[in-house]
Chains A and B, each alone.
Chain A
Amino acid sequence: GDSVTQMEGPVTLSEEAFLTINCTYTATGYPSLFWYVQYPGEGLQLLLKATKADDKGSNKGFEATYRKETTSFHLEKGSVQVSDSAVYFCALDRGGADGLTFGKGTHLIIQP
């Protein structure tokens, strides 16, 4: 079946550091890929998406590129802020009976 793998963390960085959160997936066909963010006590917020190979999704300084050849969708940000502290989920949507398939989530902690 479909699956998404990402580092669980916690990942601790200093403010203004460069961020990479790795995400790889296993799925047949051409799924749509998403990054969601969850702040404490809240639901999930869509951060960015990509629907086909080589697409780059971007939002609020975050970027991720859909790499079909490496089945990856790594999240990057050039300079993180304390307010970026949250849990980040990589997800895929291939349709069918599984809805969105999520990774386990990466807990990101940004220290001032």
Chain B
Amino acid sequence: KAGVTQTPRYLIKTRGQQVTLSCSPISGHRSVSWYQQTPGQGLQFLFEYFSETQRNKGNFPGRFSGRQFSNSRSEMNVSTLELGDSALYLCASSLGGGGQGYEQYFGPGTRLTVT
């Protein structure tokens, strides 16, 4: 099976712009989660989508949003970019949702740099 894919792999944006990142989960996986990884804060949970519905959301401002399509592909959007949004954004897919012991499989990430 193909793994989780994320596009683009690298992105450079300017403060104030918005950005959309894409994630294609493993075939058959219905849950997609997004995480932000920074040197200072480590790995932080952004949100989880299951069957096109946002099921869980981490402690991030409303500038961070996402959606999931009927084929389980997911996008996340960050509006009004700030310098602190520079990070590696990781997408993970799993068969089921959180708390049920399902393994989450991660993509290679999108490296976002905000200048």
Contact = CB atoms under 8 A, between A and B. Distances in A.
Given A95-B97, A102-B42, A46 B58 contact: no
Contact of A101 (B6, B45, B101, B104): B45
Interface of A: 31-32, 34, 36, 42-46, 49, 51, 89, 91, 93-105
Interface of B: 4, 6, 33, 35, 42-43, 45-48, 56-58, 90, 92, 97-101, 103-109
Contacts of A94: 98-99
B45 A99 contact: yes
A99 B98 contact: yes
A54 B32 CA distance: 29
B106 to A, nearest CB: 4
B29 to A, nearest CB: 13
A34 to B, nearest CB: 8
3 A-B pairs with the lowest CB-CB distances in the bound complex, closest first: A95-B99, A99-B45, A51-B101
7 contacts: A34-B103, A43-B109, A46-B106, A49-B101, A95-B98, A102-B42, A103-B42
B64 to A, nearest CB: 13
| Among B43, B58, B97, B106, residue most surrounded by chain A Cβ atoms (within 10 Å) | B43
Given A89-B43, A97-B57, A99-B33, A43 B97 contact: no
B33 A46 contact: no
Nearest to A44: B106
